[in-house]
Amino acid sequence: MTRPEYQFNHSDHIKRRRRYRRRSFLATLFFLAVAVAVGALAYNLYNLSHVTGRPVGATYHQTIGGQVTTKSAYFQFSDTQAWSYAPGDSTTTELTYLLYEGGLPVHSLTVYINQTPLDSNLAVTRVLPVQIKNGNSFMFEGDISPPCSTLYGPSDPKRIKQVSLEGADFLCVPDSPQFSTAVGQVGGNYELSLRRANGQTANYIIIYHNLSVNPDPSAFVRIMKTFQAL
């Protein structure tokens, strides 16, 4: 019986080995690059979360003399406690901050930058009357107003409409059980034109909600006394 003959192509074998080594080398480089990138990202996140005064998200905190200053690209305010930035409720032009009491969010502050929200988000039950001081901060013209529901008669439809209290115009929601306030300029309304540090102006709309059963808005009043455009 004739024995089968096998031919071995030495040249093809060498080419296959070279291709295999080349692919292995490229795969190794790829995984090394991914590992370095992941390590660098983890290192940066660690530093951001452990260094005081470094930016985290859209805001950061700086503590000086017992006062915690919260800063974003457009404004800053100070309080004796740190307000937490709420990224899930925020965008680049709508920034929301929460102040917790007993582990629960009690105070909610939303600042709209160059944006007018829907009436359902803009309508409140009260107004905090202010005048603009130095072009970039506020001077108080009184306390937070009474509920705007007092401006509706017994037979008036309880619909959202523009009203005026303490000399400032704002959108009133008369039948809301929640304590909510807009900052309103006396002789104007809730659209506050403030001068930024670069000399340009931006429009600010500031809305506050108290989420407790027995609302105390003193924390909101405190931070508005220190609010400043940046």
Domain boundaries, the chain: 8-51, 81-229
- Can you name the residues that pair with 95 across neighbouring β-strands? 111
Please state, in angstroms and rounded to a whole number, the distance separating the CA atoms of residues 175 and 159. Answer: 8
Task: Identify the pLDDT of residue 67.
Answer: 86
Q: What is the pLDDT of residues 12-66, one digit of tens each?
A: 545 555 565 566 555 555 555 545 444 444 434 333 333 333 333 456 667 666 7
Task: Give the pairing type, strands 67-71 and 201-210.
Answer: unpaired
Which of residues 20 and 176 earns the better pLDDT score? 176
Instruction: Quote the tokens at residue 74.
Output: 């457009």
Can you tell me the mean pLDDT for 197-207?
A: 97
Poorest-confidence range of 7-11, 132-136, 189-193? Answer: 7-11
> Residue 210's closest CA among 167, 177, 174, 187?
177
Whole-structure pTM value:
0.74
Start-to-end CA distance of the chain, whole Å, equals: 96
pLDDT of residue 40: 43
Tokens of 115: 């944006």
